[in-house]
Structure formats: C-alpha cells, structure tokens
Amino acid sequence: MTRAVLALVRKDLLLELRGREVVPAMVTFVLASFVLFRFALGGDRLGGGVRAATGLLWVAVVFTAMLGLTRAFAQEREHGIWDGLLATPVDRAAVWLAKACSTFVFLVAMQAVALPLFWLFFLQEGDGPSIPVLIGALVLADAGIASLGAMLAGLASASHAREVLLPVLFLPFAVPLVLVGVQVSVATISPQTSALDTLQRLGFLGLYATIFALLGWALFEYVVED
Amino acid sequence: MSSSEAVRCRGLVRRFGEREALGGVDLDVGEGELVLLTGPNGAGKTTLLRVLATVLRPTGGRAAVFGSELPRSANPARRLLGYAGHEPLLYPLLTAAENLRLYAALQGVDEAAVGPALERVGLARRATDRVSNLSRGMRQRLSLARATLHGPRLLLLDEPVSGLDEEGRGVLRSLLGENGVTALVATHEPQWFAPMPARVVTLRDGRVQG
C-alpha cells in the first residue's frame, strides 16, 4: 500500500510540474484576494485593520483551497482514468490518502508564496499575529482541508454538477476551520491571550484533521465505487 | 461455479437511475475461451465489461470472475483480470514508462515488468515519450501493455481493434493467442477475429440474444 500511495503522489506532483494547473492558479487567486482586501480595508493606511486582514487571510485560504480541490481529480475524470484505477486491486483508501497528500503539498506551496505576500500587504504597520502560531495553524488547517477535500472532491467528481457540488459540500464543513483559524491567529495580536488557549485551538485544528482523515480513510471506497 | 469457468453471470442487472443498461444477463465464459460480445450501440456491452472489471457495482443478479463473487470479492478478481476500455486510461502528461510504472505499483507488480511490457507492444524506444505525443495507435498499444502488465488470466477488452495500427493488431493477435488467456471482447468487427476460434454472443437491450 505504501508503494501505491507514493506512486500516486509522485504522479500528482509530476502532473502539476508539467501541467501547472493548480498551484499557479491558487497563487494568482490569493494574490488577487490580498489586493482586493487591502483596498477594502482602507487603501493607504491599514490602521486597526490587521485583525480584519488576519481574518480575511483565512477566508482567502479556504476559497483558494477550494479552487485547487476542483482540479483534484480532473485528470482522472477528463481522461476516463478512474476506470483504470478502480480495476486495480489497490486499496481505495490509498487513492484517497495519495490525493490528500498531494493536495496538502499544493496548499503548503501556495501558502509559501501567500504568507510573504500577506506580510507585505498587511503587516507593515504595527503588531501582527505571531508568525510561528500562524504557520502552525495553517499547516494543521491544510491537513484538515486536504483530508476532507480529497474525500469531497472524489464524491463531487462523479457528478455532472461537480463545480457547484464541491463548494456546496465543502464550505459548511470549512466554517469551524475558519472560525478557529481566525481565533488562534487574531489572539496572538496584542493584547495576547494565554498560551493554553492557543494550544487548545491548535489542538482543535489537529482534531479536525484527524477526524476527517479517519472518515476519508474509511469512506472513500463508498465514495468512488458506483 | 465450475473451476473451468472464468466468468459467470446470472440475471445480472445494472441500472443508471431509471435506465436499465443490463436487464438480466446470463453468460458463462470458459477458461481459455475467446468470447466476442456484439450488438448495436447501447446494447450494454461496455456496461457488462465495466461490471466484470469491478468498475461498476451490479444493481442485481450475480456475477463472478474465477469464482470471486462481485462486488464482495472484487479484489481477488482484480488481480486476475486486465481491462482495456474505450479510452486508453493513461495520463497524457506522463511518459509511457511512467504510466506503466504507476500501474505496476497499483497492481503490486515489480517495476522490472515495465521494460518487457513496452518491448512486447513495440514501444520500448518511445518509453520516455509523453503519452500526449504518441499517435492514437501507439496509445492503444500502450493501453494493451497496461492491461496485461500483471499477467492477467482474463482480458476484458472494449473495442480493442478500433484505432489500432497494423503493428498493434499483431500485438492483439499474439495476446489473444497466448496459452490459457481468456478474453471477453466487445466489438463491432467480429470478422476481424475470424481466424481465431471464438464464440459470438449478441447483446440487445441489455440481454443476451438467443
């Protein structure tokens, strides 16, 4: 199973390196969002808008992730390759795990560009959120988004209305992620809350990722087999 | 089910919503037998192959591949069958060898099988070419290499002659002529298989005729 997962992840990374369909689109989207947010929050002077900007960072992260997820199974769908994968004896959980791993890598790659941009656009004036906490929260959130998103993208890929279905399925589940992500990030802007609160919120993000990882692992077979 | 039966279907039904694609198919395919599935478009040939390839779950009735009931015991069946559909089921942006290495990992076959498989279909020299740069006939040949990479005992082939170049047709003949290989082939060109001993089964409106 490990070999199959590694082979599928390698395949996704190679396809992205050659096709450049997902990460460049996500980076462009997040950059455009930051430009819009910057103007919406006051143009020249951000003032007290750092908290609002930190919240909007999470909104941008979730919408950007959704953009990537709509392409998660695009190759398999467009070229009928699902049939080829399903006719092999590979565990369906391995297909889910591989897609979750490659989605996680794409999200981290997008954020590696997005965070410096966020700093450039919003954190030049006054206090900002703790960068280590923000990175930790984003990594945990990415794990949750990838686990949940890979499962829902597989489910939506079987539908003719997949472009509509995926956001409808994904966004309600993403609400707690955004709420806690915003709380944990904003709380580190002075005046700060206790380290215990921060740890509890990071723990929630970890728990969220774990729950959807277990669900993806257990349910993906029923999601993709018709 | 007798051990000499590769495929056994009894009252096999498959519906897509209200539409019944297979309406109670009864079919036996003996081990080593070549069976040609013919019939008009929409008769259910592709659906039958996809159910037997474990890509679709039956809605009703029973289907078994080498004694493994579907879908309950699909995994043992998957190790024994090779499926080539309408599409080549290959990633266009990966090379021929990368595609086969991926399927080798999914089938649990040693990567060393990739070279001989490409050799067998005459694509060894195109191993590092992306699939998108191969001609249609070459893709079809590569699709045959993919479907037979793990040495399946049952081949499920959907219109395999269509789009195949002359070299590919030679490859297909040699695959079907291999000792012990059972094949269920959906085709509009049964005459092409005429030199080979084959049984023709006609599907119409999701049922076996005659």
The model carries a pTM of 0.89
User: Does some domain include residue B118?
Assistant: no
pLDDT at B3 over 60: no
pLDDT at A47 over 70: no
The band of A16, judged by pLDDT with boundaries at 50, 70 and 90, is very high
**Number of domains, chain B:** 1
Q: Which two tokens stand for residue A24?
A: 């460049």
Domain span at B10: 5-93+152-208
> Which of A142, A190, A196, A151 has the alpha carbon at shortest distance from A170?
A151
A vs B, Cβ pairs < 8 A, gives 83
* pLDDT tens digits, one per residue of B113-158: 999 999 999 999 999 999 999 998 899 999 999 999 999 999 999 9
User: Does some domain include residue B180?
Assistant: yes
Share of chain B above pLDDT 70, in %: 98
What letter does residue A192 receive in the DSSP assignment? P
CA separation for the pair B145, A153 (Å, rounded): 30
User: Does some domain include residue B17?
Assistant: yes
Residue pair B170/B195 in contact by the 8 Å Cβ criterion: no
Distance from CA of A93 to the nearest CA of B (A): 12
- The angle at the Cα of A31, spanning A30 to A37, to the nearest 5 degrees, equals 85
The band of A48, judged by pLDDT with boundaries at 50, 70 and 90, is low
| A4, A83, A89: residue with CB nearest B89 | A83
* Average pLDDT of the residues of chain B: 91
CA separation for the pair B153, B4 (Å, rounded): 12
User: Does some domain include residue B138?
Assistant: no
> Which of B140, B133, B102, B96 has the alpha carbon at shortest distance from B118?
B96
**pLDDT, mean of residues B42-67:** 94
- Three-state SS at B28: strand
Which residue on chain B is closest to A80 by alpha carbon?
B89
Quote the ipTM score: 0.88
User: Does some domain include residue B10?
Assistant: yes
Place of tokens 């002075």: A190
Q: How far is CA A35 from CA A26, A121, A218, B126, in A?
A: 14, 8, 41, 47
User: Does some domain include residue B103?
Assistant: no
* pLDDT tens digits, one per residue of B73-109: 889 999 999 999 888 899 999 999 999 999 999 999 9
CATH number of the domain bearing residue B180: 3.40.50.300
User: Does some domain include residue B100?
Assistant: no
* pLDDT tens digits, one per residue of B156-167: 999 998 888 888
CA separation for the pair B76, B79 (Å, rounded): 5
> Which of A220, A222, A7 has the alpha carbon at shortest distance from B107?
A7
Top pLDDT among A46 and A54 is at A54
User: Does some domain include residue B168?
Assistant: yes
Mutation target to probe the B interface, by most B beta carbons within 10 A, among A8, A11, A96 is: A11
Q: 10 Å Cβ neighbour count for A182? A: 21
